[in-house]
Chains A and B, each alone.
Chain A
């Protein structure tokens, strides 16, 4: 249960090695917090588990393979085997090389599966659990890339557009059951996902995203941008006519 001062008792990271996911977990970590790290087995996952154990958390590692749909139900089953989950973060995702992504059918399919199909599947599985427990938060890490899909990374952007729409809708569906969905739209986040890319304006760190997420949950928000001013920027960009939009250096 999230207590009266906003501290959760359990946290599930789907994408248990994601920089943003781990940053969120660090914000909440305290003695006795149950942390479930769902990710592919890796040194990164082991290291993350060690870090949170060191902080006094009770850590469970669970295997997650976004492309193996058959395995998703078992992942959720294991994640909830220790009791209710107060906050579940959907943090896994794949950026891919944007030009390769629309030339290579395999990569396009992978992006669609990892960034859209799997989150929808997990969203439904999580929704069932959360509906039954009648409390809790699903934090869906979306992206401004999905708010108006642009030529420069449209395969990724389109998956996030679908992702974003699904979780906004899931939030509406779960409202009456006391379950909250928070959709987070970060801009450029300096993380392992974007390492090697040139930094965009208004870039943020995973820690800054985590801070916004914690505040948003405390004040029961459903949709946030990181950083905040991106909301106004995107609001403008959404309405730029196509002939002009394609000329913008985005």
Chain B
């Protein structure tokens, strides 16, 4: 292993000798899917000293960093242990707009939403945006999130220049993507908070003239037409993603709406928008109340939504000007939209299989469509090359995401999909996962042992721990002694 502790300068946080004991109540924490909550002590972290102190006070249940709680499953909860609420560490520390590329240094709790708002006036752009802006930079790194531009620009980790990691020994180290610390750096990218708590990062930015996109839309009759179209033309667009109908069976299975686009230049804007080309358009329709029953998504509503969404799109349209919300984050208009699934919650199943396994990909789609489980928010995309992170999700291939309300038989469907995905050399995305078994996980991530070795080296007693880590047997030392 390449990392040599001696050459890594540790930042010694200055701690008062006697920290007052802040009572941390047990609170129920759950992921965005709201399906498997447990009780953790939630420690409010306002400073590096707070984080170190919470780490030192933790018992053998350990600590897990938590941001805005947008991972769908159990990644940011820690039953019986501590979750570090890092959302108050939300300062943008410095901006270097003159270097090429421009970089920004932030605390880990800054949301991509606030970062975008701060950067746009400078003509600077956050390089990777997932399906919501309501995630923290720390979470984006720990899950190595991806966006519509993965096929051209990679995942979030590709754009991180350095990060500050609070490690199990209570010290904060700065890690970089190359050099002596690269091994731990890359294990931390996509490492789900299990190598330490990311407290800050420096991220490379892109430049943009406007906050608008020129978008081409195509409606396809079925899945084959869609995959064909994407294989042909995706390289001409920075951004590409398809919504598909996961309810309609038979001849039109997988009919889809493909939207692809590039950043608009000032010259592309109509006169009215030219006056404020970098305006951040993010309307809010308010917060969904907690009133929805289970089974809101039923045959009738799912069919109506899917058909409506499909026919709402034009058959073929080019050069439409769209703003950030229209193009990237339509769901961000409504806060707490996950409540629509009712108290049983839902899960998101996202997998990727290599391009050469298009047949397996089609079989998975068929399994979902014919299962009787209903999903409305379905996303299909082509990934580009992955990065060096051992637990990073994206790899070259087809990725598909479905949102499924928790209902009888869903476990069987997901187990069947797992088998199909593993058989094709693919994997599921940990940031979305809430039900994968440890043996399946091991088969999906062939570099798992590499990750575990690094984790064992930097956190031999498993101080960083989470429900996800226990479920997938990432806890160190392995409880069964089988590691």
- List residues of chain A with CB under 8 Å of any chain B CB: 1-7, 9, 30-32, 34, 58, 81-84, 132-135, 176-178
Given A4-B345, A7-B411, A84 contacting B470 (CB threshold 8 A): yes
The complex places the Cα of A31 from the Cα of B479 at a distance, in Å, of 18
Residues of A within 8 A of B79 (CB): 1, 84, 133-135, 178
Contact of A1 among B26, B74, B406 (CB under 8 A): B74
Q: Which of B38, B415, B479 contacts A178 (CB 8 A)?
A: B38
Whether B38 and A5, one on each chain, are in contact in the complex, defined by CB atoms closer than 8 angstroms, is: no
Question: Which B residues touch A81, using CB under 8 A?
Answer: 479
Residue B35 is within 8 A (CB to CB) of chain A in the complex? yes
B36, A3: Cβ atoms under 8 Å? yes
- Which of B138-146, B225-233, B316-324, B432-440 forms part of the interface with chain A? B432-440
Q: Are B80 and A133 in contact (CB under 8 A)?
A: yes
Residues of B within 8 A of A (CB): 26, 28, 33, 35-36, 38-40, 61, 73-74, 79-81, 345, 347, 406, 410-411, 414-415, 434-440, 467, 470-471, 475, 479-480
> Are B28 and A4 within 8 A (Cβ)?
no
A176 to B434, CA, bound (A): 23
Apart from A3-B437, A9-B438, A178-B38, what are 8 other A-B pairs with CB-CB below 8 Å?
A4-B33, A5-B406, A84-B79, A132-B61, A133-B61, A133-B80, A135-B38, A177-B39
Among the interface residues B26, B79, B347, which one has the most CB atoms of the partner chain A within 10 A? B79
CB distance from B442 to the nearest CB of A (A): 10
Question: Which residues of chain A come closer than 8 Å to B415, judged between CB atoms?
Answer: 30
- Do the beta carbons of A178 and B39 come within 8 Å of each other? yes
Q: Tell me if A4 and B406 are in contact (CB < 8 A).
A: yes
The answer to whether B28 touches A178 (Cβ under 8 A) is yes
Closest to A1 in B: B471
Measured CA separation A6–B347 after assembly (Å): 12
Contact B36 A134 (CB under 8 A): no
Name which residue of chain A comes closest to B435, CB basis: A3
B191 to chain A, nearest CB (A): 19
Question: B410 and A31: CB pair below 8 A?
Answer: no
CA A31 – CA B439 in complex, angstroms?
8
Known: A133-B80, A134-B79, A177-B26. A1 touches B467 (CB 8 A): yes
Min CB gap A36→B, angstroms = 12
Sample of 24 A–B contacts (CB below 8 Å): A1-B36, A1-B79, A3-B434, A4-B435, A5-B406, A5-B410, A5-B411, A9-B471, A31-B437, A32-B439, A34-B480, A82-B479, A83-B479, A132-B80, A133-B61, A134-B26, A134-B38, A134-B79, A134-B80, A134-B81, A135-B38, A135-B80, A178-B28, A178-B39
Nearest chain A CB to B352 CB, angstrom units: 20
User: Which single residue of chain B is at the shortest CB-CB distance from A133?
Assistant: B80
Tell me the bound Cα distance from A7 to B418 in angstroms. 15
A178, B81: Cα distance in complex, Å: 12
Could you tell me the distance between the alpha carbons of A249 and B59 in the complex, rounded to whole angstroms? Answer: 57
Complexed CA–CA distance, A32 and B471 (Å)? 11
User: Given contacts A5-B347, A32-B437, A177-B26, are A134 and B40 in contact (CB under 8 A)?
Assistant: yes
Contacts of B411 in A (CB 8 A): 5-7
Which chain A residue lies CB-closest to B466?
A: A1
Q: How distant is B338 from chain A, measured CB to nearest CB, in Å?
A: 13
What's the Cα separation between A223 and B419 when bound, in Å?
37
A1 to B38, CA, bound (A): 9
The complex places the Cα of A4 from the Cα of B40 at a distance, in Å, of: 17
Closest Cβ–Cβ distance, residue A165 to chain B (whole Å): 25
Contact residues in A for B436 (Cβ distance below 8 Å): 3
Task: Give, as a whole number of angstroms, the nearest-CB distance from A6 to chain B.
Answer: 7
Report which of A5, A58, A132, A177 forms a contact with B435, defined as CB distance below 8 A: A5
Contact of A3 among B61, B81, B471 (CB under 8 A): B471
Among A4, A9, A178, chain B packs the most CB atoms within 10 A around the CB of: A4
Cα distance A5–B345 in the bound complex, in angstroms: 10
Q: In the complex, A134→B437 CA distance in Å?
A: 21
Cα–Cα, bound, A5→B434 (Å): 8
A32 near B438: Cβ-Cβ < 8 Å: yes
- Give the complex CA separation of A134 and B60 in angstroms: 13
Taken together as a complex, chains A and B put the C-alpha atoms of A98 and B146 apart, in Å, by: 68
Whole-angstrom CA separation of A1 from B37 in the bound complex: 10
Q: Chain B residues with Cβ under 8 A from A82's Cβ?
A: 479-480
Which residue of A5, A9, A82, A132 has the most chain B CB atoms within 10 A of its CB atom?
Answer: A5
